[in-house]
Structure 1
Amino acid sequence: MYYVIIALILVICVLLSIVVLAQNPKGGGLSSQFGAGGGAAQMMGVKRTGDLLEKLTWGFAIGLMVLSLGSYMVGGHTSTGPVRSINQQRALETRLPATPAPVAPATPAPTAPVAPAPAN
């Protein structure tokens, strides 16, 4: 199921990019390139084509967001926690060497008092 959702996300991304490129922002754009002499604009009217492209853009964008959240819900996490990258998993599995217990400083052995050297 997860891979089906990912495939749908990829298809929607391609369609969304085509629809965005086909829009006519301020005269120009790729929408005038489709058909002979702008046949789509003459057949449906410029306003209707713009409305259709805008609705398709919003629909694909909303669909992309819903499918992205759905992919997380379906396969984005497991019962033990979120899916991690290989590097994160290895870092969590690696055990650091145990630190040795702090050694108490050795007390010096009692020494006999040293007599000062005679002065010459």
Structure 2
Amino acid sequence: MYYAIIALILVICVLLSLVVLAQNPKGGGLSSQFGAGGGAAQMMGVKRTGDLLEKLTWGFAIGLMVLSLGSYVVAGHAPSGPVRSINQQRALETRIPATSAPVAPGAPAPAAPVAPVPAN
């Protein structure tokens, strides 16, 4: 399921970038290059083509956000899940030693023992 959502995200990204490249508010975008002499713009009219491209842009952008949030939910976000990076794994394995005696107010804090860094 997760991989299907990722595939849909990639398809929407490609379509969104094509739609964004096709539009230009000054009329010089790729939308005038389709067909012989900008047949798509002549067939539907420049205003209607711009409206369609704008609606497609918003639709693809909203779809991309929804699928991105969906992939987060499907992948699982529980803290007991798998560790995804070596830095996160080392941070979870590191134990900070607790001080044995409380420090009196105004007294200097005892030096904490430093744990040796493991070699890779």
TM over 0.5: yes
Structure 2 unaligned residues grouped into runs of 5+: 102-120
State the 1:82 CA deviation. 7.9
Q: Which residue of 2 aligns with 1:42?
A: 42
Between the aligned partners of 1:56 and 1:83, the Cα distance in structure 2 is 38
Q: How does 1:2-13 map to 2 (within 5 A)?
A: 2-13=2-13
Q: Which residue of 1 aligns with 2:30?
A: 30
Q: Which residue of 1 aligns with 2:19?
A: 19
Query: What percentage of aligned pairs have identical amino acids?
Result: 88
Q: Which residue of 1 aligns with 2:88?
A: 88
Name the CA shift for 1:74/1:24 in 2 (closer, same or farther; >3 Å): same
Q: Which residue of 2 aligns with 1:77?
A: 77
TM-score (norm 1): 0.72
Q: In the alignment, is the contact (CA less than 8 A) between 1:2 and 1:71 conserved in 2?
A: yes
Q: Deviations over 1:26-54 (max 9, x none)?
A: 12111111111000011111111111100
Name the CA shift for 1:83/1:67 in 2 (closer, same or farther; >3 Å): farther
SS of the equivalent of 2:32 reads coil
Equivalenced residue count is 101
TM-score (norm 2): 0.72
Q: Deviations over 1:6-29 (max 9, x none)?
A: 111111011000000000221211
* Structure 2 residue identity aligned to 1:73: V
Between the aligned partners of 1:90 and 1:35, the Cα distance in structure 2 is 58
Structure 1 unaligned residues grouped into runs of 5+: 103-120
Q: Which residue of 1 aligns with 2:55?
A: 55
Q: In the alignment, is the contact (CA less than 8 A) between 1:76 and 1:82 conserved in 2?
A: no
Does residue 66 of the first structure (1) align with residue 75 of the second (2)?
A: no
Q: Which has the larger radius of gyration?
A: 1
* Structure 2 residue identity aligned to 1:30: L
Between the aligned partners of 2:57 and 2:89, the Cα distance in structure 1 is 39
* Structure 2 residue identity aligned to 1:25: P
